Chain A
Amino acid sequence: MAEHYKPVKYKAWEMNLEERFQEVFPPLTEREAVLEANRCLYCYDAPCMVACPTHIDIPTFIRKISTGNVTGSARTIMEANLMGASCARVCPVQELCEGACVLEHDEKPIMIGRLQRYAMDYADEKKIKFFNKGKSLGKKVAVVGAGPAGLTCAGELAKMGFEVTCYERKMWPGGLSTYGIVVFREPVEVARAEAKKIEDLGVTMKTGVTIGEDIQFDQLLKDNDAVFVSIGLGSVPNMDIPGEDLEGVVDGLEFIEETKVKPLCDIKYGNRICVIGAGNTAIDCATIARRLGSERVTMIYRRSEAEMPAYHFEYQFALGEGVSFSFLTQPVEVLSNNGKVDGLKCVRMDLGEPDESGRRVAVPVPNSEFVVPCDMVIKAIGQLKHTPFIAKLGEYGIKTVKGYIAVDSKTNRTAHEKIFAGGDCIRSKGEASTVMATQDGKIAARAIYEQLTGNKIPEGTLKRSTDMTIEPAMEKGYALHEHKPRVHATAPTK
């Protein structure tokens, strides 16, 4: 039967577990991609391109989809962003490129993210390798942490000819793209394939190695001409309320990680879950829980809807997934029965005067305690910094801002001339995101190159990758062949 006559399963309860964890947005078909690409106006000095933190030449990559040069399209993306496949899936496009599209008001913005994914998927399918290791400069750089920031920096440096070693604590590279972004936004395979491309550029990937434990930072600094620190952030902090250590209270990041690395059917989840926090990670935990099968998922947040840090589209998504929100609610104790979680005691809040950040402070309403019955509590109230590691860096004179590593924003260099840093571990202000981390890696790679070679890279130059490999798919001289009937079917009978 024709595919499109199979009923579309859009109701979560009609899908099976595997189906619920497929990418939320299906890939664009060729026709959809070309139609959408043709809708793009190909603006000059396009605002979408300015809004993209990595400044991908969006009008050009979209035009290339419309002219059938999808290979070139993918190359245009990769030249500006080695994490193009991840970014296409996880970027908060409404806040970035698509939010800036000139068609936002008159029509609707171009689906830049999905077009980007179309081009990246095409290049992946065709196994096109766009870049090669550069001619050796005889210089060594170590990268600590193989998340988007570290991978990008390593890849860009390898393209320029540095000998790069990337150290990663986890089994697999990719950082949060591999372990933290929900699978129905980005499958693990996409993140791993992206990291593989960085290895293919000649970057040595040492996984399962924790710097500071297996290898000391001093050693790295001694052995290399520069070090890029991109360790991201750590686990979810404590809430400091009684009952926090009970079985059934989990770290949101660990909960998400399970869905990335374990068979879905092996994951334990509660039937009535309280998720504490209202950032994007909290939303991810809540929607995953719903998709795993949890019947009641309530998000507990101290302030109101207006203050919640999650993107609006994430909030809308969660509502659509059947997550309920309990705003102006502060958890005060996890209750238990026989050592197991069986409720969350909360207190109602009111909004008071704005604090120095401008957000109105939540103040408890006296005698307003109540209990939300639940069998699982997921904490998603932010991430800790890698304080011991950063403290160690302090020995090299490196400064911090609010516990994050302080860098010069033009070069991402720290106070120590051989140490650079980027990604979530420097993001003291602004929204932490994959694409910002990617740009950090690029900025540092450029600065390391300029510092170690004394050469300048002109601002905004795009180098055409002449070393791209495309396998000839057809015999040479195809067009010159004589006409041969392509199909010999039987003749109809009268």
Chain B
Amino acid sequence: MADLSINFNGIKSPNPFWLASAPPSNSGYQVQKAFEAGWGGAVWKTVGAPVMNVCNRYGTIDYKGRKIIGLNNVELISDRPLDVNLKEMRETKKNFPNHAVIASVMVESKKEAWQEIIKRIEDTGVDGFELNFGCPHGMSERGMGSAMGQVPEYTCMVTEWVMEVATKPVIVKLTPNVTDIVHPARAAVKANASAISLINTINSIMGVDLDTFEIRPNVGGKGGHGGYAGPAVKPIALHLLSSVASDEEVRKAGIPISGMGGVETWQDAVEFMLLGSTSVQVCTAVMHFGFRVVEDMIDGMSNWMDERGFKNCTDFIGASLPRISSFGDFDLGFQSVARIDHNKCIQCNLCFIACNDTAHQCIDLKDMKLTDEVKERLWPVVREEDCVGCALCASVCPVDDCITMTEIDTGRPHITWNQLIKEKPEVLQWDKMVEYREKNHIHIH
């Protein structure tokens, strides 16, 4: 069986699955129960400045009968007194010496405040810290959380204060609510952070009640932006993760990344790891189903690794990063066309109407005489020479593997956009572009 244990810049964990700093890791009772269920580590619910919470903290989005595709919250950091949290961290670490216990911290922007709390927490024996520069509501209005994370200079400054006193690894947790996440990531690197984690929640409003005009979640008749998480945010998280993981400065620093945002299954976790996460954190999926979801995460990942002959997580962490590129470097000569398997097609015509109304009108409905029915329903047939290979039809087709985007060789030059405009800058004029296409038999109708 594969070995799932990881070494996260000195923080050792029996597997890469950590509870994210959030309600599931609110207390010693919960974290220890989670460890018993199989979680490898937990980032404690953020401790720090005193707070007061409100009621109706969560709003969720259901999608066509499936509950909680996304969850937002207007919850603050831990509202339990610091001493209680510290006592329970100590007890948890004592009972589970081989699991990763990480304290998430957020205090006001004062050097003494940060340094004092770090020292007090370190005394409990925790394995490391996570600096919460991401909370987008409540705390940010008080100059904490994402208010720090959105200004790289602040991120760098506070991290430096912490690094001065911390003897345990320090993870900087980034907010997605920025224009380019690479800047705060570099700020963390600059301050010598031991690791980076991302993403915290995304600013959002969950919805409006059509009867009462109230905002969801409703807090006594009012509502406001809250942090969005859960399966719906995964593509955003993967993008931000890959930007940070493939950034030159971050790579040079060689520090690990803990990824999160929408992880619900072992497959999600593998994707995060292929894009450079060493550990993955989970909050919403645990809030939906309980700590027990980790059993399948461990089992599924380990079976997947066995099937591929991977012995350790390091065998595949970051394996997809070399594939992360950008538009200017994509091959303009790579061409695919849609092929329909009429043995599988159930004749719903969704591909036809999608292509006809919203793509390139290259699917026809034809009489194919594929059955012995006298009045046979017409079949969708792709006019391959007109197909631009957008993959919309394959996306809407309800039958697995019925429409395959098939790579073909048309003899188009294999050149990237960047190379093209360097070699032939004139194509930036429409007439020259048309000329270039004609010369290379590229027809777009």
| Given known A67-B267, A494-B443, contact A75–B299 (CB-CB < 8 A) | yes
List which A450-494 residues lie within 8 A (CB) of chain B. Answer: 464, 466, 468, 470-480, 483, 485-494
Interface range for A: 35 or more
Instruction: List the count of A-B residue pairs having beta carbons below 8 Å apart.
Output: 109
List which A50-97 residues lie within 8 A (CB) of chain B. Answer: 60, 63-64, 67-69, 71-72, 75
Taking a contact as CB atoms closer than 8 A, the residue among A31, A69, A485, A486 that contacts B296 in the complex is: A69
* Cα distance A23–B300 in the bound complex, in angstroms: 30
User: Please, which residue of chain A has its CB at the minimum distance from the CB of B376?
Assistant: A5
List, in ascending order, chain A residues with CB within 8 A of B274's CB. 479
- As a 0/1 sequence over residues 1 to 44 of chain A, the CB contacts with chain B under 8 angstroms (1 = contact) are 11111000000000000000000000000110000001000101
Taking a contact as CB atoms closer than 8 A, the residue among A69, A483, A488 that contacts B300 in the complex is: A69
B371 CB within 8 Å of chain A: yes
List, in ascending order, chain B residues with CB within 8 A of A69's CB. 266, 296, 299-300, 303-304
List, in ascending order, chain B residues with CB within 8 A of A471's CB. 307
Taking a contact as CB atoms closer than 8 A, the residue among B303, B373, B400, B409 that contacts A470 in the complex is: B303
* Cα distance A341–B114 in the bound complex, in angstroms: 97
Taking the closest CB of chain A, its distance from the CB of B177, in whole angstroms, is 30
B328 CB within 8 Å of chain A: no
Please name 26 pairs of A and B residues whose Cβ atoms are closer than 8 Å in the assembled complex, sorted by A.
A1-B370, A1-B372, A2-B344, A2-B370, A2-B371, A5-B373, A30-B400, A60-B295, A64-B299, A68-B300, A75-B299, A464-B299, A468-B306, A470-B307, A474-B309, A477-B315, A479-B274, A479-B320, A480-B319, A485-B409, A486-B407, A491-B409, A491-B411, A492-B384, A492-B385, A494-B385
Taking the closest CB of chain A, its distance from the CB of B124, in whole angstroms, is 31
* Cα distance A191–B370 in the bound complex, in angstroms: 40
* Cα distance A475–B304 in the bound complex, in angstroms: 13
Contact A476 B299 (CB under 8 A): no
* Cα distance A473–B310 in the bound complex, in angstroms: 11
| Given known A2-B344, A470-B303, A473-B307, contact A489–B408 (CB-CB < 8 A) | yes
| Given known A1-B370, A64-B300, contact A480–B411 (CB-CB < 8 A) | no
Taking the closest CB of chain A, its distance from the CB of B182, in whole angstroms, is 24
Taking the closest CB of chain B, its distance from the CB of A246, in whole angstroms, is 51
B66 CB within 8 Å of chain A: yes
* Cα distance A192–B306 in the bound complex, in angstroms: 28
List which B431-445 residues lie within 8 A (CB) of chain A. Answer: 441, 443
B292 CB within 8 Å of chain A: yes
* Cα distance A485–B308 in the bound complex, in angstroms: 21
* Cα distance A5–B372 in the bound complex, in angstroms: 9
User: Please, which residue of chain A has its CB at the minimum distance from the CB of B400?
Assistant: A31
- As a 0/1 sequence over residues 32 to 64 of chain B, the CB contacts with chain A under 8 angstroms (1 = contact) are 000000000000000000000000000000000
- As a 0/1 sequence over residues 382 to 404 of chain B, the CB contacts with chain A under 8 angstroms (1 = contact) are 00110000000000000010000
Contact A44 B385 (CB under 8 A): no
- As a 0/1 sequence over residues 259 to 282 of chain A, the CB contacts with chain B under 8 angstroms (1 = contact) are 000000000000000000000000
B342 CB within 8 Å of chain A: yes
* Extra inter-chain contacts (5) besides given A477-B315, A491-B409, CB under 8 Å: A1-B370, A64-B296, A473-B307, A479-B316, A492-B385
* Cα distance A472–B384 in the bound complex, in angstroms: 38
Taking the closest CB of chain B, its distance from the CB of A349, in whole angstroms, is 51
Interface majority SS (helix, strand, loop, mixed), chain B: loop
List, in ascending order, chain B residues with CB within 8 A of A492's CB. 337, 384-385, 408, 410
Taking a contact as CB atoms closer than 8 A, the residue among B290, B296, B337, B342 that contacts A2 in the complex is: B342
List, in ascending order, chain B residues with CB within 8 A of A479's CB. 274, 316, 319-320
List, in ascending order, chain A residues with CB within 8 A of B303's CB. 69, 71-72, 470
User: Please, which residue of chain B has its CB at the minimum distance from the CB of A107?
Assistant: B65
Residues of A bordering B, CB below 8 Å:
1-5, 30-31, 38, 42, 44, 60, 63-64, 67-69, 71-72, 75, 464, 466, 468, 470-480, 483, 485-494
Q: Which of B267, B300, B400, B409 counts the most A-chain CB atoms under 10 A from its CB?
A: B300
* Cα distance A38–B443 in the bound complex, in angstroms: 44
| Given known A468-B1, A492-B408, A494-B385, contact A72–B299 (CB-CB < 8 A) | yes
* Cα distance A376–B292 in the bound complex, in angstroms: 57
List which B277-309 residues lie within 8 A (CB) of chain A. Answer: 289-290, 292-293, 295-296, 299-300, 303-304, 306-309
B406 CB within 8 Å of chain A: yes
B350 CB within 8 Å of chain A: no
List, in ascending order, chain A residues with CB within 8 A of B319's CB. 477, 479-480
Interface size in chain B (residues, C-beta < 8 A)? 48
B314 CB within 8 Å of chain A: no
List, in ascending order, chain B residues with CB within 8 A of A494's CB. 385, 441, 443
B253 CB within 8 Å of chain A: no
B324 CB within 8 Å of chain A: no
* Cα distance A308–B76 in the bound complex, in angstroms: 63
List, in ascending order, chain A residues with CB within 8 A of B267's CB. 67-68
Contact B289 A489 (CB under 8 A): no
List which B304-345 residues lie within 8 A (CB) of chain A. Answer: 304, 306-310, 315-316, 319-320, 322-323, 337, 342-345
Contact B289 A42 (CB under 8 A): yes
B346 CB within 8 Å of chain A: yes
- As a 0/1 sequence over residues 356 to 392 of chain B, the CB contacts with chain A under 8 angstroms (1 = contact) are 0000000000000011110000000000110000000
Contact B371 A1 (CB under 8 A): yes
Contact B1 A474 (CB under 8 A): no
Taking the closest CB of chain A, its distance from the CB of B234, in whole angstroms, is 14
* Cα distance A476–B309 in the bound complex, in angstroms: 5
B109 CB within 8 Å of chain A: no
List, in ascending order, chain B residues with CB within 8 A of A474's CB. 307-309
List, in ascending order, chain B residues with CB within 8 A of A477's CB. 315, 319
List, in ascending order, chain A residues with CB within 8 A of B115's CB. none
B265 CB within 8 Å of chain A: yes
User: Please, which residue of chain B has its CB at the minimum distance from the CB of A70?
Assistant: B303
- In the complex, the 9 A-B pairs of residues with the closest C-beta atoms, listed nearest first: A69-B300, A472-B309, A492-B384, A72-B299, A492-B385, A479-B319, A67-B265, A470-B306, A476-B309
List, in ascending order, chain A residues with CB within 8 A of B316's CB. 479
* Cα distance A1–B368 in the bound complex, in angstroms: 11
List, in ascending order, chain A residues with CB within 8 A of B266's CB. 67, 69
List which B143-179 residues lie within 8 A (CB) of chain A. Answer: none
Contact B385 A478 (CB under 8 A): no
List, in ascending order, chain B residues with CB within 8 A of A44's CB. 290, 292
| Given known A38-B66, A485-B407, contact A4–B308 (CB-CB < 8 A) | no
User: Please, which residue of chain B has its CB at the minimum distance from the CB of A68?
Assistant: B267
* Cα distance A487–B345 in the bound complex, in angstroms: 21
User: Please, which residue of chain B has its CB at the minimum distance from the CB of A126?
Assistant: B307
List, in ascending order, chain A residues with CB within 8 A of B385's CB. 492-494
